[in-house]
Amino acid sequence: MPQQLALVLSDVGGYDDMQKVLRDLLTEKEIIEISARLEAAWMLSNGEKYTDITAKTKLSSRTVARISDWYKNGSNGYKLVMPIISNHHQHIPPARTE
């Protein structure tokens, strides 16, 4: 089943369509959680402190530690999306920090 999700998401054609797919697949809470994790990874990649990350994202320090471990030792998924996040970071506020 995970392969099906990856295949479907990789073929979604653009920002608007991806928003529609994610909104139907995930709850609002799940979307906010994923957005906060991406923000935490971005902050970690910029050398920010755990305390600042937990304060800004509202994630637990344990979750931030897991993201840090995945960022350093995972499948490089976070590293793949860092250029995209960096490119858009000034334009789109993370969901949980509003």
| pLDDT at residue number 86 | 83
| pLDDT at residue number 11 | 93
| pLDDT at residue number 90 | 64
Q: Given pLDDT bands bounded at 50, 70 and 90, which one contains residue 53?
A: very high
| pLDDT at residue number 98 | 46
Q: Is the pLDDT of residue 96 over 90?
A: no
* 63-91 pLDDT per residue, tens: 999 999 999 999 999 999 999 888 876 65
Contact status, residue 59 vs residue 34, Cβ threshold 8 Å: no
For the chain, what percent of residues have pLDDT higher than 90? 73
* 22-40 pLDDT per residue, tens: 999 999 999 999 999 999 9
| pLDDT at residue number 97 | 45
